[in-house]
Chain A
């Protein structure tokens, strides 16, 4: 079966750096997405990776290794507003999106 694994919850300190990991086993691979979802709000798109390597976008970066079935989202200079759930999703060979259960990130002052 297809599976996406991410940690259920992480805690980090304001101003620090945190890395949220995502590992996947899917039928084929057509890209990996990260979304951010604040409590009670809509998930919003953060990043898309289809080739190996690091994509940087301001304080957020996303990394992909297709051979390892692995991605991470790196958040730098953490702010209180970064407290949210982070969802990892993979598009498989049938172009279906396979979702992880999300990682709840708690930022402490």
Chain B
């Protein structure tokens, strides 16, 4: 148990659907992250929030829309996705954003399949 919970664990959606991924952390951290993990590829950072403000958006398509209502919750809203968006989406948190030696605490991810 890492203290970071993601739901749902698995999601299958059509290209015209709208769905949301949810992440909750119980660690009192100030920074939260969304990563995309595709098979045999490095983790891709999508979004970073620090104290509920977005501090980074790594050229992610607008069909992915993040929301951080408070420092414990993070959402990723999905709409009109493409099959190449199928991947494992990982949420992570850390005490502060960008600190040198701070480790990330990850959730178990949502395995997304876009049909």
Contact = CB atoms under 8 A, between A and B. Distances in A.
A10 to B, nearest CB: 14
Contact of A95 (B40, B41, B98, B104): B98
Most buried by A among B42, B99, B106: B42
B44 to A, nearest CB: 8
B2 A8 contact: no
Interface string B38-55: 001111010000000000
Given A40-B108, A50-B101, 19 more contacts: A31-B101, A33-B103, A42-B4, A42-B90, A42-B106, A42-B109, A43-B106, A44-B106, A45-B104, A48-B101, A48-B103, A91-B100, A95-B99, A95-B100, A97-B45, A97-B104, A98-B42, A101-B40, A101-B42
Interface of A: 4, 8, 30-31, 33, 35, 40-45, 48, 50, 87, 89, 91, 95-102
